[in-house]
Structure 1
């Protein structure tokens, strides 16, 4: 389980929220100097986030008026 969510809990009433969790080493220790993530896992997270942004942009383009500037 994750204790993440503090920022999302503050904003959820005004906008949709999503969280992207990046795999960590050291048994998932977070907010601690022992927290560690590999470059490969960071790269995977960047690709996942980029894919999400691309999907959201396509959805927004589909739902926008054709005559919009």
Structure 2
């Protein structure tokens, strides 16, 4: 029981340090967002852009063929 009755909790942004693990729920959420952004910046895309474009063209061509021959 180290909580002293009547003592106010510390403010969320009073001593913000991004290198220290966050204690509050909002701080942990912001930390996870920062980590995800950093991961996305350092890692490359999972699939090459040309492959995604090719798949999109094939899907559109498939639907066009269905409309034309239906």
TM-score scaled by structure 1?
0.37
Greater helix share, structure number: 2
TM-score scaled by structure 2?
0.36
**Higher Cα Rg, which structure:** 2
